[in-house]
């Protein structure tokens, strides 16, 4: 800054303007040079902090230039040269913005085919980005995570999804290790204790799904596949993969049937990874998973089957969505994730109806983030890795919701035909959103691009308001106190209404700010979201809402859930008062369907920002009034006849009561279950155990930290450790500090550090202790955590409902957010969320307290 202030203002403006233009054009490689094939040779020892390698990339120079651009990050380039037949052309490499390297020749290069040869070495990453070290028990392992822009950390490359080329990987490693990659082994040579493993050529694919692993793995066969397939695990763990192995072939067959084409790669291996930032990664032929998803009991409890099966279906769907057909650039990442999530839900409905995915309102998982004034569109400008990760969750939840909505409008068969055409047209290539819109337009009778763009190329979602005269208006939904830019959408409305004693239906595409449907005039009630498929909030007059509640049995379970969640949102937006919200909650709290009852528990949890020490006892009694009847019916022990909905409701009811009711029976049960889990973890369902442990910790003495720590050290099972980690919400400051310090120990993997920090912080009444600890330990924390978690630290640990905490956070991050890519954005999101919560608390606290006094007197 000092340098710039010494310049005349016009020089400054020129400099800034030219810099902005350069960044605008140079965050991607130019099209002067394109790769056609890459051979990679690496020498890796999991017990060594360093690795070495060389790569030869066949390239086309498309127009005369003296510079070859490629990517690398944190590698040491020893030599770079261009091979033109027998001629070697030395290259001088310099680093530029966005990890782009310029390899410059002394003379101009004429357009033709060359080979770019680079020799390099580097340090193995110790978090979980790029090629990284993972430890399990006494062994070291090497894994990779290259999505989204991390292949460049392991080898120089044209690390963009548009460059789909074939790769040939060769890895040299100590003889004792198993070496894996995307394809089958072509040949293996052993010499002097080292092995060199050469793998088959891959199909054309983007660099981010290249993968390899080195370590002392055990393995188990995946039965009934048409291609070779195994599940690889850390040493001694292969016997725990029976459940995943049993279900993989059926899931893959379901996907092949939907796409009308076979699995596109030559093998299908899974790996259980002990240290993994994300849940899983769809590397072609070598899918990596958090070990908690693959290392299970032979037949997990019904509720514990849901996530592993869904994730396997999601990752295998990526073999088509993302791997066979790839986005052209990261701004269309949602195409990968939304489709894979949508397809996984479809597989779950077909193969596992007992999991009742039909009842899930996926959009509810998106609405919170998508209502923030800071939210960006799903399809947004992407220049860097942190841009890709910004709002990542909406790629899944909002994207899936919109695809589900489109399918409901188009029809299942027509939608499937469009998807199959899309796959056929773009197989082994790249596609953009417009390519999808085009094929769906062929099978739809409405303007698909117009609808999709309003939801995906602009942020947020509409609030659709109805009045008794039949007039409909749309506006941008936002929470109380937020300032947002006005927008309009193309909103498909499937409306049920009751008039003159009859339930009728009508449809409309609301394209303008307002419209009139005459037949809605003076309807008894309106429900404008048939089967709860819409991506919107809605509001009807109070009189019509009362009539709808009196006739609530006319709606199915999805629709009844939507009525409650929608009312919850209107209350948070300041569109209705607490009395109207409680009117809806009271009616649906008597619903006997466990799916709806779970939504009641969820809505009660949404009110807990208004719960403090002054009213906690009253809220506990209120929760008991609503939920103890369910607790008495369901208890805490699973029954043979339980459906997944019943089991999930049991967990939810028990969670609220254990936290707030202070019921002697609940507390006694919790203490007994907590000790039972510590004695024999497999004897208590994980969801129940987590609640029991948290209750015991909250009501117990300071010795609970040592108990949980000892259990964490005793067990290496990721699911047991996850349950213990979830319970580390200590009321004693000294135990909060011990938890935070424990997160930095070698026992805790880098990917799990953020979970400890967030849990410890959630126990505090204010953030003073957290920031005191962060001041001392920030550098160590940043060094240990994955880059994604570092950038998102404000969202994970600093969002609250307190101006005091916001002031502390603003001071703490003031300078730090300037130095860490992505942290400014995360702080802005956290700040907006905190400000919205403060506004809601200020507006509703008095009415909430008054309501509780009346409700529990």
Residues 6+ apart with CB under 8 A from 353: none
Which residue's structure tokens are 């009196």? 550
Q: Classify residue 399 as exposed, middle or buried by CB count within 10 Å of its CB (0-12, 13-18, 19+).
A: buried
Question: What's the token pair of residue 670?
Answer: 């919790």
Question: What's the token pair of residue 489?
Answer: 């959408």
In the residue annotation, 54 being an active-site residue is answered as no
Phi, psi of 382 (to 5 degrees): -125, 125
Residue 502 neighbours by CB distance under 10 Å:
8
Q: How far apart are CA 455 and CA 400, in angstroms?
A: 12
Contact 173, 214 (CB under 8 A): yes
Q: How far apart are CA 631 and CA 173, in angstroms?
A: 56
Sign of CA dihedral 762, 763, 766, 769: negative
Angle (deg, nearest 10), helices 578-588 and 557-572: 160
CA distances 706 to 518, 710, 728, Å, are: 68, 6, 11
Question: What's the token pair of residue 377?
Answer: 């569109």
Q: How far apart are CA 189 and CA 79, in angstroms?
A: 26
Q: How far apart are CA 644 and CA 772, in angstroms?
A: 43
Residue 551 neighbours by CB distance under 10 Å:
14
Selecting among 54, 160, 304, 315, the annotated active-site residue is 315
Q: How far apart are CA 329 and CA 351, in angstroms?
A: 33
Please measure the distance between the N-terminal and C-terminal CA atoms of the chain and give it in whole angstroms: 63
From the list 450, 560, 425, 564, the residue with the least C-alpha distance to 496 is 560
| E strands present in 205-278 | 212-215, 217-221, 230-234, 269-273
Residue 250 parent element (H or E)? helix 242-259
Residues 6+ apart with CB under 8 A from 330: 148, 149, 161, 382, 387, 388
Q: How far apart are CA 628 and CA 625, in angstroms?
A: 6
Give the DSSP letter string of 621-682.
HHHHHHHHHHHHHH-SS--TT--HHHHHHHHHHHHHHHHHT--HHHHHHHHHHHHHHHH-GG
Phi, psi of 189 (to 5 degrees): -120, 140
Phi-psi region of 215 (alpha: psi -120 to 50; beta: other; left: phi over 0): left
- Cα torsion at 736, 742, 744, 745 (round to 10°)? 170
Phi-psi region of 137 (alpha: psi -120 to 50; beta: other; left: phi over 0): left
- Catalytic residue positions, numbered: 315
């Amino acid at each position: 800054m000092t340098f710039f202030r010494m310049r005349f203002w016009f020089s400054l403006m020129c400099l800034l303007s030219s810099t902005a233009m350069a960044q605008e054009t140079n965050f991607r490689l130019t099209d002067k040079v394109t790769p056609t094939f890459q051979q990679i040779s690496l020498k890796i020892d999991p017990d060594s902090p360093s690795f070495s390698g060389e790569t030869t990339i066949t390239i086309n120079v498309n127009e005369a230039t003296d510079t070859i651009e490629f990517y690398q990050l944190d590698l040491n380039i020893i030599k770079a040269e261009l091979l033109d037949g027998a001629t070697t052309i030395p290259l001088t490499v310099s680093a530029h913005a966005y990890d782009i390297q310029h390899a410059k020749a002394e003379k101009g290069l004429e357009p033709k085919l060359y080979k770019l040869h680079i020799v390099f070495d580097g340090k193995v990453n110790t978090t979980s980005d790029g090629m990284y070290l993972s430890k399990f028990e006494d062994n070291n392992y090497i894994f990779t995570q290259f999505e989204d822009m991390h292949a460049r950390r392991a080898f120089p490359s044209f690390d963009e999804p548009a460059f789909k080329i074939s790769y040939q990987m060769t890895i040299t490693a100590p003889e004792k290790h198993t070496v894996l990659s995307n394809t089958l082994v072509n040949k293996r040579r052993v010499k002097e204790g080292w092995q060199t493993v050469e793998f088959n050529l891959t199909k054309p694919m983007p660099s981010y799904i290249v993968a390899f692993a080195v370590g002392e793995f055990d393995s188990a066969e995946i039965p009934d596949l048409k291609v070779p397939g195994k599940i690889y695990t850390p040493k001694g763990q292969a016997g725990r993969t029976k459940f995943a192995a049993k279900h993989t072939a059926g899931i893959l067959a379901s996907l092949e049937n939907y796409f009308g084409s076979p699995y596109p790669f030559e093998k299908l291996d899974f790996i259980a990874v002990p240290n993994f930032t994300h849940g899983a990664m769809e590397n072609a032929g070598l899918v990596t998973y958090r070990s908690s998803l693959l290392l299970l009991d032979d037949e997990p409890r019904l509720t514990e089957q849901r996530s592993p099966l869904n994730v396997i279906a999601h990752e295998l769907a990526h073999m088509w969505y993302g791997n066979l057909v790839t986005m052209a650039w990261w701004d269309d990442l949602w195409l990968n994730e939304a489709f894979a999530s949508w397809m996984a839900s479809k597989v779950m409905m077909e193969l596992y109806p007992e999991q009742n995915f039909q009842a899930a309102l996926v959009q509810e998982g998106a609405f919170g983030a998508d209502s923030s004034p800071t939210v960006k569109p799903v399809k947004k400008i992407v220049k860097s890795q942190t841009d890709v990760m910004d709002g990542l969750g909406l790629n899944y939840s909002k994207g899936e919701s919109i695809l589900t909505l489109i399918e409901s409008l188009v029809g299942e068969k027509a939608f499937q035909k469009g998807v199959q055409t899309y796959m056929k047209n773009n197989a082994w290539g790249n596609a953009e959103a417009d390519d999808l819109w085009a094929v769906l337009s062929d099978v739809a009778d409405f303007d698909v691009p117009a609808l999709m763009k309003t939801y995906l190329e602009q942020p947020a979602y509409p609030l659709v308001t109805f009045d008794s005269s039949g007039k409909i208006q749309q506006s941008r939904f936002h929470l109380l106190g937020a300032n947002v830019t006005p927008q309009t959408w193309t909103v498909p409305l499937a409306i049920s209404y009751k008039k003159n004693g009859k339930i009728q239906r009508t449809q409309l595409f609301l394209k303008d700010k307002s419209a009139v449907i005459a037949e809605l005039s003076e309807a008894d009630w309106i429900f404008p979201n048939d089967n709860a498929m819409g991506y919107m909030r809605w509001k009807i007059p109070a009189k019509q809402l009362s009539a709808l509640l009196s006739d609530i049995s006319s709606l199915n379970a999805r629709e009844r859930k939507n009525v409650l969640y929608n009312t919850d949102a209107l209350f948070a937006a300041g569109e209705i008062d607490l009395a109207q919200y409680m009117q809806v909650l009271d009616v649906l709290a008597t619903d006997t369907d466990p799916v709806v009852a779970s939504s009641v528990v969820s809505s009660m949890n949404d009110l807990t920002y208004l719960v403090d020490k002054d009213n906690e006892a009253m809220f506990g009694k209120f929760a008991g009034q609503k939920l103890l009847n369910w607790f008495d019916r369901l208890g805490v022990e699973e029954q043979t006849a339980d459906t997944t909905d019943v089991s999930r409701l049991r967990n939810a009811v028990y969670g609220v009561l254990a936290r707030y009711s202070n019921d002697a029976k609940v507390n006694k049960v919790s203490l007994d279950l907590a000790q039972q889990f510590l004695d024999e973890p497999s004897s208590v369902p994980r969801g129940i155990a987590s609640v029991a442990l948290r209750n015991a910790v909250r009501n117990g003495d300071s010795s609970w930290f040592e108990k949980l720590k000892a259990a964490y050290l005793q067990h290496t099972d990721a699911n047991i450790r996850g349950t213990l980690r979830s319970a580390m919400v200590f009321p004693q400051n000294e135990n909060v500090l011990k938890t935070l310090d424990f997160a930095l120990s070698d026992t805790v993997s880098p990917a799990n550090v953020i979970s400890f920090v967030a849990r410890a912080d959630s126990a505090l009444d204010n953030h003073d202790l957290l920031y005191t600890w962060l001041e001392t330990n920030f550098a160590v924390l940043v060094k240990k955590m994955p880059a994604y978690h570092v950038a998102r630290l404000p969202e994970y640990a600093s969002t609250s409902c307190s101006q005091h905490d916001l002031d502390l956070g603003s001071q703490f991050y003031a300078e730090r957010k300037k130095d860490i890519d992505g942290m400014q954005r995360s702080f802005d999101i956290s700040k907006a969320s905190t400000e919205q919560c403060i506004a809601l608390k200020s507006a509703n606290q008095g009415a909430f307290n008054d309501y509780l006094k009346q409700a529990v007197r």
